[in-house]
Chain A
């Protein structure tokens, strides 16, 4: 089976504890497991401005097909650090870029008033917006979904301690997706698919912060139909990321 990874990243140099950390290492490690395509984000926080950091992601993704840039998105407060409307449209259409907000790290809660017109643009261009559940206040996300029901929100890094909340959130709002990177609950994959449908789950590893082996094995050996496994492994990625 092939895999397409919605939640991958890289550092600019090797990191203690990570068997793979740089873009080349992460890419090679993934390929050895059948990961043929991935959405990458530059995780290095000390390499310049937001634009410079994101430009490194874009450059890495241009080096090889099957790589899609995940660009960190800051709210439109300071014009010199955020993208203009036309830039977001261009990045989404020409480079098939995705965007990620980091409400905790960037002290920028994901709310309609904080990101305003940016959410309009992402909705109009059907561009997935990634956010980690570990950083997300679901009440804020609910306000966003009330205002932008068609926004494609991909919630990554779920936690089993919040499983009652995030399952209800996705049952209540359309266009909410989860990645597999932290689905570790007993029979979690099967349960979530039975509750939400395989169309809502995307394969994600969270490399290089975490190793990818568990997620590949979990999907290979889970008790779902082949069709459901394929949707999670790569089908949903193709629909949401590649076929915009």
Chain B
């Protein structure tokens, strides 16, 4: 039975590997809009129910200015759920030395996936050289950076990565939300075509007016990475987007897990 058919009948196919490459955890630390908060075990329960085997998350607390503290708390949570929760440690230029030291300390930890940056929240544009210490470190050590991007937000328009990638062409970069808008998606795709280690995070591109079947024609398919942006957004949105689409099942499997595993060179979910 095809994945789409099984899901329509209320069954997530057994053995389907889904890794959420862009998530958040935290308890009430983010409140620009009302955000429903659940304990991490409940978050993981919902994920399991809809087939997500594990997720890589960053800390809300870190996002709102408490980088070191938030990262440390996140690593504690990862220790409690070592097979289901992995960490992006947050970085912002304002706390560069302390955060780079922390990142370096955890770089070889099994729960460590990479580094999260959010230029809008950090109020520091990717167009500046403020992130260069991080880029240099991550390029040297092959560490993945997940960057929030949205084309209409001046601090993190994905097109602004073009000069950065000229300076750091081997950077392992996951473009969060693919820039969100139609133009943001097109800029992201252009970078993913040009640079070997640039990947495309499909959550958010739901609102780009590019359906996923068309996205798979426009973008390098091996660069498309599944993620949900939970617990900011509902994970059922992007799970449904992939599972119920008309993409063929082999491509769905690549997007849902295999592409990200290839990007970071690790097996994250058992076969």
Contact = CB atoms under 8 A, between A and B. Distances in A.
A216 B38 contact: no
Interface residues of B, number: 38
A153 to B, nearest CB: 22
A183 to B, nearest CB: 8
Given A17-B209, A160-B33, A164-B34, A214 B214 contact: no
Contacts of B231: 186
B173 to A, nearest CB: 24
Contacts of A33: 8, 244
A188 interface: yes
Nearest to B242: A213
Interface stretch (A63-71, A109-117, A196-204, A217-225): A217-225
A187 B36 contact: yes
Contact of B33 (A17, A161, A191): A161
Nearest to A206: B207
Contacts of B7: 217, 220
Contacts of A183: 234
Nearest to A191: B36
Given A164-B34, A185-B36, A220-B10, A214 B232 contact: no
Interface centre among A162, A214, A216, A218 (most CB of B within 10 A): A214
A187 B230 CA distance: 10
Contacts of A16: 214
B234 A187 contact: yes
Contacts of A187: 36, 38, 234
A211 B211 contact: yes
A189 interface: yes
A174 interface: no
Contacts of A185: 33-36, 233-234
Nearest to A164: B34
A189 B236 CA distance: 11
Contact of B32 (A161, A211, A221): A161
Interface string B197-229: 000000000111111111000100000000000
Query: Most chain-A CB neighbours within 10 Å: which of B38, B182, B230, B240?
Result: B240
A213 B240 contact: yes
B142 to A, nearest CB: 32
A189 B234 contact: yes
B49 interface: yes
Given A210-B206, A214-B236, A218-B240, A164 B33 contact: yes
B245 interface: yes
B93 to A, nearest CB: 26
A170 to B, nearest CB: 14
B209 A184 contact: no
Interface string A159-171: 0111110010000
A114 B69 CA distance: 54
A173 interface: no
A19 B214 contact: yes
B256 interface: no
A192 to B, nearest CB: 10
Nearest to A190: B36
Interface of B: 7-8, 10, 32-36, 38, 49-50, 182, 206-214, 218, 230-234, 236-246
Question: Closest 8 interchain pairs by CB?
Answer: A217-B240, A213-B244, A19-B211, A17-B210, A19-B213, A214-B237, A211-B211, A214-B240
Given A19-B214, A34-B8, A222-B236, 12 more contacts: A20-B211, A33-B8, A160-B33, A160-B233, A185-B34, A185-B234, A186-B35, A187-B234, A188-B234, A211-B212, A214-B236, A217-B243
